[in-house]
A and B are shown apart, each in its own frame.
Chain A
Amino acid sequence: MDGLDHWKNQAEQWKNQAEQWFRQDFEYIHQIPPNQLYAALAVLLFTILFVFFVRLFKRTKSNTIVLSGLSGSGKTVLFYQLRDGSSHQGTVTSMEPNEGTFVLHSEQTKNGKKKPIHLVDVPGHSRLRPKLDEFLPQAAAIIFVVDALEFLPNCRTASEYLYDVLTKASVVKKKIPVLIVCNKTDKVTAHTKEFIRKQMEKEIDKLRASRSAISAADVANDFTLGVAGEAFSFSQCQNKVTVGEASGLTGEISQVEQFIREHIKP
């Protein structure tokens, strides 16, 4: 009981102190000439608004490029070619994404201002598909790598993957440009990019038909592609879709680099 009283007294004392301090502050504030007060408040408000607007309007153009494609198409080789100019001792199936912010290897010798790019190589294995969704929102451009050598057996799976990428909400809304790279063109039996383009357009056309036949909830895609009634072609996409060729192992990646330079403006 004694202790309780003691605490109560202490609390009273603190309360009185606090009240005193408040009173002192009020008096102080009232003492300041009103003009100064208003001026101070105005400046504060102005700074807040300024920062707010700046953040809103200054759209930092992201410099992320996403490398995606089926497993075994050559994304990791391309990644290292772009970064170091060689694929070192070879690659195996990736289990995790490769990320890096760097200046393109071919540009390192040039003079002038070089803007580093943030390149992400997302594993193509189907079990690791969800990782792509982590990086797509911040992407400025997408490079979809296709194996031109083993194209026909994987045509359907590659087209499905491409269809999924092209119908994602972030890709459609932000109109992210896509470059379809036919990799491994140094081999004699690799298909041409025209052939690959036509085959993929045909497959995506079929996918369009089967996916839209299913009702709304079944569709895993947010949007549909192309114009209804017409055969699908990449030119119908709202975002720009181009097809290019490259060879990761020999280092012929000029088309890829050009695409990157186009879309990452310094």
Chain B
Amino acid sequence: MCRGISVFLFDLSLVFTNNNKMLEQLLIFTRGGLILWTCKELGNALKGSPIDALIRSCLLEERSGAASYNYDAPGAAYTLKWTFHNELGLVFVAVYQRILHLLYVDELLSMVKREFSEIYDPKRTVYHDFDETFRQLRKEAEARAEELKKSKQVGKPVSNSKKQGQVQKTGFAGGNGKKSEGSLANDGGDGDGKKGRRPENGLSNGNFVDTVEAKVNGTFNGKENTSSNVGAFDVNKLQKLRTKGGKKTDTVVSKGSKEEPKKKLTKKNRVWDDSPPEAKLDFTEPVGENADNNIEVVAADHGESMMDKEENFSSESESEDEDEIGKGSKPDPKKKGWFSSMFQSIAGKANLEKSDLEPALKALKDRLMTKNVAEEIAEKLCESVAASLEGKKLASFTRISSTVQAAMEEALVRILTPRRSIDIMRDVNAAKEQRKPYVVVFVGVNGVGKSTNLAKVAYWLQQHNVNVMMAACDTFRSGAVEQLRTHARRLQIPIFEKGYEKDPAIVAKEAIQEATRNGSDVVLVDTAGRMQDNEPLMRALSKLIYLNNPDLVLFVGEALVGNDAVDQLSKFNQKLADLSTASNPRLIDGILLTKFDTIDDKVGAALSMVYISGAPVMFVGCGQSYTDLKKLNVKSIVKTLLK
């Protein structure tokens, strides 16, 4: 008890002495990129470029509905919070150290927004008079936060234990407490109670408790933060994981190395009755690698791959959209009369409120979900669109639903547009010049079509005069090597295989060496399918990637997958990052979407996968023959999603 109080006092004194340094920086800039105002008092130069990172990985990635963004630079760990003024096109960003838990930031940002929008003039570019206003606002906000903290500090934790039991989150032990300040700083008033208690258990691994508490007590923001922190995979969390390199990876690595020398887990044969156990079920013919002398297969020539064909789009009429929108906004008109809504649509409303956007957004979210978009992705997208439309003036003669639709369309196009070039031919040529083979590894869960699509990609590359070689690193599934061998024979391309029960990482390594020797331009590595939860298999995959450092890690996902897409991709990325011993782990670079011909217009899986991983869709498999490989057409996907 005494210790608790002394710790609390110590922390409080720290807080007071750091008074001037609490907020690192507060910026106001236009959406076009010009900084209008920064606080002169807090003159600290920010290490790294957190604002640019925020814009590139969060705001432009349609994650602007998230509560905060964490940025790590050598020597600093910042948390950023932001708010928009959509009508004037301004962005307000506050940066502070992550270890401090500032509670007044949200309030301060909204106050700053209000005050600044009054003095804003599009022609002006200097706003020195705002310094004074800001100083006052900050004092106000800090004072208010202090008061709340003092008043709540005596409060006991309310049903803490009960909530602990309810919510199980895999929080990172103590240490940075990344999640806690994200959620703490978020729940304005709520957080204060915890802040008072924090110092008591803060020095122990008590952050876990706080995290749990915060999550359950969460308001809408809090709940959203929860999902963004734990449920789905955050790109920024990924960056954190990358730079962590601390205790957790060490323990995992040591565990991993211990297991390696042990024999590989083999499946025990199931014994059904008293019959004697069968001999090993490996029927591979003991033939060498050049064993196509008995079976002469004519080289497969199936014509042009669909990658090279023009796509004909059916021009859908626009009237269909109108009907849908009409149906979508049906839940709303009950509230307002017909006349007032007509009047508003003609005159244009003053400012869009969140409550106005909600029905249209809900309808849009439902529509996206019927198109097989994962639920949390649809949710996040809708929040991001809401954040970008709030406070905007509705133009006259437009309905809210059409504005929302237009904003959503733009957001979807932005997400699906690749962030980097997906010109594989260019990369292959670049690797050719350096005289090393371009290595592509196909990863994915069981049964999505890796081997089939590998053959399709090989066929396409071959059509463009590229020397391809296949590497059969699926040494687990019965028949996998034979399958690839058949494809190789039909396409007349070399295949490197070592049979079954071999270490895939070693097989891949040798395959790449062989490719360098015989001058192949591209090596396509087939791996065994594995569930994202299977720890030993994910470790083996990570080892394969780490050992061979491929040029392209292609995640093969089927278009039929629903909400599981989010889980698959995020876990794959996470495991690849966690279990890799490299300082800069390789993650998924591209997505290959398969079985596209089986879904008619439920194309949402593409959106879920791209959103959660940030990797572009490089190929689309739309059939089971060699020519059924296409490129993703962004416009038609967006049109189908919003139909």
- State whether the Cβ of A170 lies closer than 8 Å to any Cβ in chain B: no
Interface size class of B (residues with CB under 8 A): 35 or more
In whole angstroms, how far apart are the Cα atoms of A126 and B59 in the complex? 14
Interface membership of chain B positions 402-424, coded 1 if the CB is closer than 8 angstroms to chain A and 0 otherwise: 00000000000111011111010
Binds A, one of B28-36, B145-153, B526-534: B28-36
- State whether the Cβ of B51 lies closer than 8 Å to any Cβ in chain A: yes
* Nearest chain A CB to B381 CB, angstrom units: 15
Known interface pairs A92-B29, A217-B310. Does A127 touch B419 (Cβ–Cβ under 8 Å)? yes
- State whether the Cβ of B42 lies closer than 8 Å to any Cβ in chain A: no
Q: Is the beta-carbon distance between B34 and A91 smaller than 8 angstroms?
A: yes
- State whether the Cβ of A233 lies closer than 8 Å to any Cβ in chain B: no
Selected contact of B33 from candidates A98, A206, A207, CB within 8 Å:
A98
In this complex, which of A84, A90, A128 has the most chain B Cβ atoms within 10 angstroms of its Cβ?
Answer: A90
Interface size class of A (residues with CB under 8 A): 35 or more
- State whether the Cβ of A232 lies closer than 8 Å to any Cβ in chain B: no
Selected contact of A210 from candidates B36, B125, B419, B423, CB within 8 Å:
B423
- State whether the Cβ of A60 lies closer than 8 Å to any Cβ in chain B: no
In whole angstroms, how far apart are the Cα atoms of A91 and B31 in the complex? 10
Some 12 contacts from A to B, beta carbons below 8 A apart, are A88-B125, A89-B35, A91-B35, A96-B31, A125-B60, A127-B61, A128-B414, A130-B417, A206-B430, A207-B426, A215-B308, A217-B309
Neighbouring B residues of A92 by C-beta, 8 Å: 27, 29, 33, 35, 51-52, 55
Neighbouring A residues of B631 by C-beta, 8 Å: 218
Neighbouring A residues of B125 by C-beta, 8 Å: 80, 84, 88
Q: Is the beta-carbon distance between A93 and B33 smaller than 8 angstroms?
A: yes
- State whether the Cβ of B258 lies closer than 8 Å to any Cβ in chain A: no
- State whether the Cβ of A97 lies closer than 8 Å to any Cβ in chain B: yes
7 closest cross-chain pairs (CB), A and B: A94-B33, A98-B32, A215-B308, A76-B33, A96-B31, A217-B310, A93-B55
What would 10 more interface pairs be, CB under 8 Å, given A93-B33, A93-B51, A126-B418? A89-B126, A92-B52, A95-B33, A95-B59, A127-B61, A127-B414, A157-B421, A211-B426, A214-B308, A217-B308
Q: Is the beta-carbon distance between A218 and B307 smaller than 8 angstroms?
A: yes
Q: Is the beta-carbon distance between A88 and B60 smaller than 8 angstroms?
A: no
Selected contact of A127 from candidates B27, B60, B308, B309, CB within 8 Å:
B60
In whole angstroms, how far apart are the Cα atoms of A90 and B52 in the complex? 12
In whole angstroms, how far apart are the Cα atoms of A91 and B32 in the complex? 9
Q: Is the beta-carbon distance between A213 and B425 smaller than 8 angstroms?
A: yes
Neighbouring B residues of A98 by C-beta, 8 Å: 32-34
Q: Is the beta-carbon distance between A218 and B308 smaller than 8 angstroms?
A: yes
Selected contact of B31 from candidates A80, A94, A156, CB within 8 Å:
A94
- State whether the Cβ of A201 lies closer than 8 Å to any Cβ in chain B: no
In whole angstroms, how far apart are the Cα atoms of A157 and B465 in the complex? 25
Known interface pairs A126-B417, A127-B417, A213-B464. Does A89 touch B425 (Cβ–Cβ under 8 Å)? no
Known interface pairs A128-B60, A210-B425. Does A96 touch B32 (Cβ–Cβ under 8 Å)? yes
- State whether the Cβ of B476 lies closer than 8 Å to any Cβ in chain A: no
Interface membership of chain A positions 23-43, coded 1 if the CB is closer than 8 angstroms to chain B and 0 otherwise: 000000000000000000000
Known interface pairs A89-B37, A95-B55, A95-B59. Does A76 touch B32 (Cβ–Cβ under 8 Å)? yes
Neighbouring A residues of B56 by C-beta, 8 Å: 71, 93, 125
Q: Is the beta-carbon distance between B429 and A209 smaller than 8 angstroms?
A: yes
Neighbouring A residues of B465 by C-beta, 8 Å: 213
Neighbouring B residues of A156 by C-beta, 8 Å: 430
Neighbouring B residues of A89 by C-beta, 8 Å: 35-38, 126
Interface membership of chain B positions 87-98, coded 1 if the CB is closer than 8 angstroms to chain A and 0 otherwise: 001010000000
- State whether the Cβ of B304 lies closer than 8 Å to any Cβ in chain A: yes
Known interface pairs A93-B55, A95-B55. Does A130 touch B413 (Cβ–Cβ under 8 Å)? yes
- Look across to chain B and name the residue whose beta carbon is closest to the beta carbon of A157: B421
* Nearest chain A CB to B612 CB, angstrom units: 16
In whole angstroms, how far apart are the Cα atoms of A158 and B99 in the complex? 39
- State whether the Cβ of A129 lies closer than 8 Å to any Cβ in chain B: yes
Q: Is the beta-carbon distance between B34 and A88 smaller than 8 angstroms?
A: yes
Q: Which of B107-144 contact A (CB under 8 A)?
A: 125-126
In whole angstroms, how far apart are the Cα atoms of A89 and B91 in the complex? 15
In whole angstroms, how far apart are the Cα atoms of A209 and B60 in the complex? 33
Interface membership of chain A positions 212-239, coded 1 if the CB is closer than 8 angstroms to chain B and 0 otherwise: 0111111000000000000000000000
- Look across to chain A and name the residue whose beta carbon is closest to the beta carbon of B417: A127
Q: Which of A161-220 contact B (CB under 8 A)?
A: 206-207, 209-211, 213-218
Neighbouring A residues of B91 by C-beta, 8 Å: 95
In whole angstroms, how far apart are the Cα atoms of A92 and B125 in the complex? 15
In whole angstroms, how far apart are the Cα atoms of A96 and B388 in the complex? 13
- Look across to chain B and name the residue whose beta carbon is closest to the beta carbon of A123: B33
Neighbouring A residues of B35 by C-beta, 8 Å: 88-92
* Nearest chain B CB to A89 CB, angstrom units: 5
Known interface pairs A90-B35, A213-B464, A218-B307. Does A95 touch B425 (Cβ–Cβ under 8 Å)? no
- State whether the Cβ of A147 lies closer than 8 Å to any Cβ in chain B: no
Neighbouring B residues of A211 by C-beta, 8 Å: 423, 425-426
- State whether the Cβ of A160 lies closer than 8 Å to any Cβ in chain B: yes
Neighbouring A residues of B421 by C-beta, 8 Å: 157, 160
In this complex, which of A94, A211, A216 has the most chain B Cβ atoms within 10 angstroms of its Cβ?
Answer: A94
In whole angstroms, how far apart are the Cα atoms of A98 and B122 in the complex? 12
Known interface pairs A89-B36, A126-B418, A215-B304. Does A95 touch B31 (Cβ–Cβ under 8 Å)? yes
- State whether the Cβ of A121 lies closer than 8 Å to any Cβ in chain B: yes
Neighbouring B residues of A207 by C-beta, 8 Å: 426
* Nearest chain B CB to A152 CB, angstrom units: 14
- Look across to chain A and name the residue whose beta carbon is closest to the beta carbon of B631: A218
In whole angstroms, how far apart are the Cα atoms of A149 and B426 in the complex? 25
* Nearest chain A CB to B271 CB, angstrom units: 55
* Nearest chain A CB to B130 CB, angstrom units: 12
In whole angstroms, how far apart are the Cα atoms of A206 and B423 in the complex? 13
Q: Which of B429-482 contact A (CB under 8 A)?
A: 429-430, 464-465
Interface membership of chain A positions 48-86, coded 1 if the CB is closer than 8 angstroms to chain B and 0 otherwise: 000000000000000000000001100010001000100
Neighbouring B residues of A215 by C-beta, 8 Å: 304, 308
In whole angstroms, how far apart are the Cα atoms of A130 and B60 in the complex? 14
Selected contact of B429 from candidates A91, A210, A217, CB within 8 Å:
A210
Known interface pairs A215-B308, A218-B307, A218-B308. Does A206 touch B55 (Cβ–Cβ under 8 Å)? no
* Nearest chain A CB to B459 CB, angstrom units: 14
In whole angstroms, how far apart are the Cα atoms of A90 and B125 in the complex? 11
In whole angstroms, how far apart are the Cα atoms of A157 and B423 in the complex? 11
Q: Is the beta-carbon distance between B32 and A94 smaller than 8 angstroms?
A: yes
In whole angstroms, how far apart are the Cα atoms of A160 and B311 in the complex? 24
Q: Is the beta-carbon distance between B310 and A206 smaller than 8 angstroms?
A: no
Neighbouring A residues of B430 by C-beta, 8 Å: 156, 206
Q: Is the beta-carbon distance between B419 and A126 smaller than 8 angstroms?
A: yes
Q: Is the beta-carbon distance between A76 and B425 smaller than 8 angstroms?
A: no
Neighbouring A residues of B52 by C-beta, 8 Å: 72, 92-93
- Look across to chain A and name the residue whose beta carbon is closest to the beta carbon of B388: A95
In this complex, which of B32, B91, B413 has the most chain A Cβ atoms within 10 angstroms of its Cβ?
Answer: B32
Interface membership of chain B positions 282-320, coded 1 if the CB is closer than 8 angstroms to chain A and 0 otherwise: 000000000000000000000010011111000000000
In whole angstroms, how far apart are the Cα atoms of A80 and B414 in the complex? 26
In whole angstroms, how far apart are the Cα atoms of A163 and B366 in the complex? 41
- Look across to chain B and name the residue whose beta carbon is closest to the beta carbon of A83: B125
* Nearest chain A CB to B175 CB, angstrom units: 31
* Nearest chain B CB to A153 CB, angstrom units: 13
Q: Is the beta-carbon distance between B32 and A121 smaller than 8 angstroms?
A: yes
Q: Which of B21-53 contact A (CB under 8 A)?
A: 27, 29, 31-38, 51-52
